[in-house]
Structure 1
Amino acid sequence: MKINVSRIFCVLAISFTLLWAAMVHAQDAKPKLILDADTANEIDDQYAIIRIFRQDKFDVIGLNSAQWFHYLGQQDSVQASQKLNERLVELMGVSGLPLNIGAERPMGKPWGGDEAKDSPAAQFIIKSARELANDEKLYVVCIGASTNLASAIKLAPEIAPKIKAYVMGFQYDFGTGTWNKSEFNVRRDLNAVDFLLNQKDLELHVMSATTSGIFKFEQGDSFEKQARMGPLGEQLTERWTRLFGSSKTWVMWDLALVEAMIDPSLASEVEVTTPPENTQRKVWMYKTIDVEKMRAGFWAAALAK
């Protein structure tokens, strides 16, 4: 049998080229990320949103609005968050990004339960997770109530192993290993939080209000820097002034989580056991953050031309 050396060499060369291209693509591919925010609730959400769009570690594929419904009169919270998300994206010059409205109400019933609250936001999480390659994971970052993520997993349980969930919430005492669910984001949907804690197949990372509570911006310094940011800075200053004008400092709870994800060297995580009333498993809890470097990182990105 006559061996065609040239043909073999050609096939090998093509195979090597394709393999090399696949390896380069895998190295260059950025993890896909969905940010889920109750943006109209306070003011730190806006800073977190700006920062997540001014980084190159993640491929941000969607911005969801989250509810912060409570019985003190704010019953259209998800609509307010959706409107503000649309405004921020416009000011940042981001086009073509899916802006998905979330559920209007918390998961389950007031006395408990895990009935899903379906929404375009939940469906977008499901769709995005299902479209991933086998070796990929979808990052879902909840800086408000975790209604949309929990509902997505309830509706499509098979996506849980495909997700890396990052949530901002809880109080946590590292000395005693004690969880405290009496925290704003958790109280906005305790059923969703318990559901996520109980999912053995879900990788869960938590930035507690205890750890992030030391990360603060000064109003005067912030307003001076925001004056150099054009209309986007005007938006930040106007909202701070209108909602919390007497607050000379503000805790950047949500921004702390985003900064920690963008640069893991600015924070430390440890594995902790879930609360005793939940399925017993290990989750990740942020223990320390570098406030000065986080603050510098945000302003460097926000003021970059």
Structure 2
Amino acid sequence: MTNYMKTIYTFILFLLISAFAEAQQKPIHLIIDADTANEVDDLFALVRAIDEPAFNLLGITSAQFHTSPQATENTVSESQQINEQIIKVMNRPEIKLPLGSNVPLASMTTPSPSKASKFIIEKAHEMKDNEKLDLVILGSCTNVASAILEDPSIISKIRVNYLGFWHTVKTNTYNKKEFNSGNDPLAVDVLLNTVDLEFNVMTATTSQHLVFKKKTIDKQLKGKGGIKDILVNRWDTYNRWWTKKDPKKKEWVMWDVALIEALINPEYATITPLETPKENTKRTIGVYTDLDKKAMEKAFWKHLNKL
């Protein structure tokens, strides 16, 4: 190889490495859709995401959870209030907080429009040709499904990351009798049936393995003020209605945190291309089938300690 060819080769290699490094450093454009008032883990997931440098967090939209036995007539407003509290305490006023729909879809062709669905549409259209808007759904799918029904032209501009379903990997069978899915089953089917929609799901089956212990929560957060005390108080005061086990709440499944950590650190989770449920349009989606719970929890506390 001549010196000239070596120079050209070195230059091309430099360009490729630089392009790869730039792609790796480019933040994920993100909107999180959360039923924050429904549980405890939503708050932990939001706090994990808000100051994460890997994210360009454009907004947090509020979601309804009307099937909860603790539900009021306006669950979306409850989620909205907590979202506003978190943003205020963490001093991030530039993060938008559009209000979502308080009711699920009336049909698979009828959206439930809201400020949240309009915001999703607006931000999707702001994406450049080589970009996608990542939508993280931590509760019901109402707002995202509504946005797609209102403006199908956004489908190629978005990627949906959903926390829901029970799933058996060996037989690739889905059980939609899961809390998030049950709060708007029609919206879930809209997303599954949208052929060109990039759709990844962190199943309840996989995320249930990420469990935090109360003694760790107290050691890391209690008495440290600000958002950390808010997280501790939420754990202490929330009525865990779905189980009588562990009445002292010594442990809590961090379902939503698992999805956030998987987006920040893809190496901590395994995503497998699988076919959709049999009752839905046949296509391939991404299903998280495994996670490194120890690495995820370590990353979570490393980030929280910086706050």
Equivalent residue for 1:166, pick from 161, 164, 172: 161
% identity of equivalent residues: 37
1:288 is aligned to 2:253:
no
Equivalent residue for 2:93, pick from 92, 95, 103: 95
- 1:95-116 per-residue CA deviation (whole Å, 9 max, x = no partner) reads 222111100001125xxx3310
Partners in 1 of 2:213 and 2:22 — Cα distance? 41
Partners in 1 of 2:22 and 2:111 — Cα distance? 35
Q: What is the CA RMSD across the aligned residues, in angstroms?
A: 1.8
Q: Normalized against structure 1, the TM-score is what? A: 0.88
Partners in 1 of 2:304 and 2:28 — Cα distance? 22
Q: Return closer, same or farther for 1:188/1:75 CA change in 2, 3 Å cut-off.
A: same
Paired residue type of 1:101: L
Paired residue type of 1:88: I
Q: How does 1:74-89 map to 2 (within 5 A)?
A: 74-89=72-87
Equivalent residue for 1:116, pick from 87, 111, 119: 111
Equivalent residue for 1:62, pick from 52, 55, 59: 59
Note the C-alpha offset of 1:58. Answer: 1.7
Kept in 1, the 8 Å contact 2:113–2:147? The answer is: yes
Note the C-alpha offset of 1:43. Answer: 0.3
Q: Return closer, same or farther for 1:257/1:25 CA change in 2, 3 Å cut-off.
A: closer
**Structure 1: gaps of 5 or more residues:** 1-22
Q: How does 1:223-234 map to 2 (within 5 A)?
A: 223-227=218-222, 229-234=224-229
Partners in 2 of 1:71 and 1:174 — Cα distance? 28
Size of the aligned set, in residue pairs, is 281
Note the C-alpha offset of 1:189. Answer: 0.6
- Give 2:185's aligned residue: 190
Kept in 2, the 8 Å contact 1:114–1:191? The answer is: no
Q: How does 1:1-305 map to 2 (within 5 A)?
A: 27=23, 29-70=26-67, 72=69, 73-109=71-107, 113-227=108-222, 229-244=224-239, 246-305=248-307
SS for the counterpart of 1:285 is strand
Q: Normalized against structure 2, the TM-score is what? A: 0.88
Kept in 2, the 8 Å contact 1:76–1:104? The answer is: yes
Note the C-alpha offset of 1:31. Answer: 2.6
Partners in 2 of 1:295 and 1:248 — Cα distance? 16
Note the C-alpha offset of 1:228. Answer: 5.8
Kept in 2, the 8 Å contact 1:229–1:303? The answer is: no
Note the C-alpha offset of 1:24. Answer: 11
Note the C-alpha offset of 1:71. Answer: 7.0
- Give 2:14's aligned residue: none
Rg comparison, structure with higher value: 1
Note the C-alpha offset of 1:246. Answer: 2.7
Note the C-alpha offset of 1:74. Answer: 2.6
- 1:19-54 per-residue CA deviation (whole Å, 9 max, x = no partner) reads xxxx79975642310011000000000010011113
Q: Return closer, same or farther for 1:208/1:99 CA change in 2, 3 Å cut-off.
A: same
Paired residue type of 1:37: A
**Structure 2: gaps of 5 or more residues:** 1-18, 240-246
- The runs of at least 4 consecutive aligned structure 1 residues that moved more than 6 Å come to 23-26
Partners in 1 of 2:132 and 2:300 — Cα distance? 26
Kept in 2, the 8 Å contact 1:229–1:302? The answer is: no
Partners in 2 of 1:71 and 1:56 — Cα distance? 34
